[in-house]
């Protein structure tokens, strides 16, 4: 079996290295990445990755708000897509996590009943108390998420892992059915079939609580990153407001989930191997992208609206209950993993 991952990006330079390394590590044979209009080194990082054979990179020209669907259509013409048995489309703030076997995407397919597409629920992560962007891995720094039991009683959004030959192209949440195909067989992230779970458009519940797999969605990150997200806008919904209400609704810090943080050592080792293949260029370009984001944030802090948004988010970390105390508790972890950065809810922006 061959697995291909598709994504499109804009100004995601600080995050590409970790995201690509993780999804290669869990078994995606090919990654097709598009980008448009980036100014933070995203193009240079993807060019370096393509030269090393790590991804297939294409520029994605499209009207405002159309980049995501245009990228998914263009992906179907790539040889890596056409050779795949299974395809998944994710955003750069989404990480697939498999809970069975060795954590490989193949382990999920082996554990689940036969399906045409699997509805793998998001698990939304909040700021974990960070106001400024911490050093290190996204998957290690952001460890507070929504309550796991919520999914057992409420339909929530999912992303799809699907059989390529049954569908015309990827969709934002659901793949587009190919003409003449019968109704698809669907399972959720615990392997439950329709009738065992409730499906509502691009949302599904999971009475077994994402037993086999989930998609970690780092939708807000820290307050600094959120201000930059606000300035960039949405790739799929051009008029979506990424504002105070967005932060309050999606900054979920209700319980701990270290499902990815526990594998930080292995992820760092995978990144080191990728960096060696590029002669150290990937780590250098990623550092430059982070510096670009810091400079962009500093420039935004000279504008009243951006500063007000930062201060609003900084002052509302929304950490819930006794779990917030566990952020600093001693714990067993991967021996290669660095300790997570301490949240800095009251840090002031540099201007």
**Mean pLDDT of all residues belonging to the chain:** 91
Q: Does residue 125 have a pLDDT over 80?
A: yes
Q: Bigger pLDDT: 328 or 288?
A: 288
Q: Does residue 18 have a pLDDT over 70?
A: yes
| Cα(261)–Cα(265) distance, integer angstroms | 9
Report the pLDDT averaged over residues 288-310.
97
| Cα(286)–Cα(183) distance, integer angstroms | 44
Q: What DSSP state is assigned to residue 105? A: H
pTM of the model as a whole: 0.91
- Of 212, 239, 252, 254, the residue nearest 104 (C-alpha): 212
* Domain spans of the chain, in order of start: 3-328
Helix/strand/coil for 270: helix
| Cα(84)–Cα(28) distance, integer angstroms | 10
| Cα(220)–Cα(228) distance, integer angstroms | 10
Report the pLDDT averaged over residues 245-269.
96
| Cα(139)–Cα(181) distance, integer angstroms | 38
How far from the centroid of its chain's Cα atoms is residue 342's Cα? 22
Angle at 153 between CA 148 and CA 155, to 5 degrees: 90
| Cα(325)–Cα(19) distance, integer angstroms | 28
List beta partners, residue 123: 216
For the residues of 113-142, what is the DSSP string, one character each?
Answer: PP-SEEEEEEEEB--TT-SSPPSS-HHHH-
Q: Does residue 345 have a pLDDT over 80?
A: no
Q: Bigger pLDDT: 323 or 261?
A: 261
272's tokens: 């080191």
Check residue 338 and give its pLDDT.
39
Neighbour-count burial of 288, counting CB atoms closer than 10 A to its CB (0-12 exposed, 13-18 middle, 19+ buried)? middle
- Of 93, 123, 343, 97, the residue nearest 254 (C-alpha): 123
Confidence of residue 240 (pLDDT cuts 50, 70, 90): low
Q: Does residue 344 have a pLDDT over 90?
A: no
| Cα(305)–Cα(308) distance, integer angstroms | 5
């Amino acid at each position: 079996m061959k697995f291909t991952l598709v994504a499109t990006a804009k100004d995601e330079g600080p995050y590409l290295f970790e995201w690509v390394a993780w999804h290669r590590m869990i078994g995606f044979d090919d990654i097709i990445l598009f980008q448009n209009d980036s100014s933070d080194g995203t193009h240079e990082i993807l060019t370096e990755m393509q030269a090393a054979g790590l991804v297939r990179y294409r520029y994605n020209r499209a009207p405002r708000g159309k980049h995501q669907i245009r990228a998914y259509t263009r992906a179907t013409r790539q040889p890596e897509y056409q050779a795949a048995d299974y395809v998944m489309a994710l955003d750069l703030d989404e990480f697939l996590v498999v809970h069975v076997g060795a954590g490989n995407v193949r382990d999920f397919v082996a554990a689940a009943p036969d399906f045409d597409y699997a509805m793998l629920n998001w698990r939304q992560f909040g700021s974990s108390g960070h106001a400024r962007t911490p050093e290190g891995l996204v998957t290690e720094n952001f460890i507070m998420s929504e309550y796991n039991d919520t999914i057992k009683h409420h339909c929530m959004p999912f992303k799809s892992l699907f059989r390529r030959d049954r569908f015309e192209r990827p969709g934002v949440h659901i793949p587009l059915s190919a003409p003449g195909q019968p109704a698809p067989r669907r399972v959720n992230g615990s392997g439950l079939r329709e009738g065992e779970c409730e499906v509502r458009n691009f949302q599904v519940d999971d009475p077994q609580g994402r037993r086999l797999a989930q998609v970690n969605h780092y939708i807000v990150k820290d307050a600094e990153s959120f201000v930059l997200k606000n300035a960039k806008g949405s790739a799929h919904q051009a008029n979506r407001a990424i504002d105070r209400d967005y932060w309050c609704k999606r900054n979920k810090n209700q319980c701990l989930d270290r499902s990815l943080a526990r594998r930080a050592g292995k992820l760092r080792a995978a990144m080191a191997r990728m960096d060696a293949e590029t002669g150290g260029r990937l780590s250098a370009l990623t550092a430059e992208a982070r510096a670009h984001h810091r400079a962009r944030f500093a420039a935004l802090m000279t504008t009243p609206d951006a500063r007000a948004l930062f201060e609003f988010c900084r002052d509302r970390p929304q950490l819930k209950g006794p779990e917030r105390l566990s952020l600093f508790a001693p714990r067993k972890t991967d021996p290669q993993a660095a300790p997570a950065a301490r949240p800095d809810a009251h840090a002031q922006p540099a201007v």
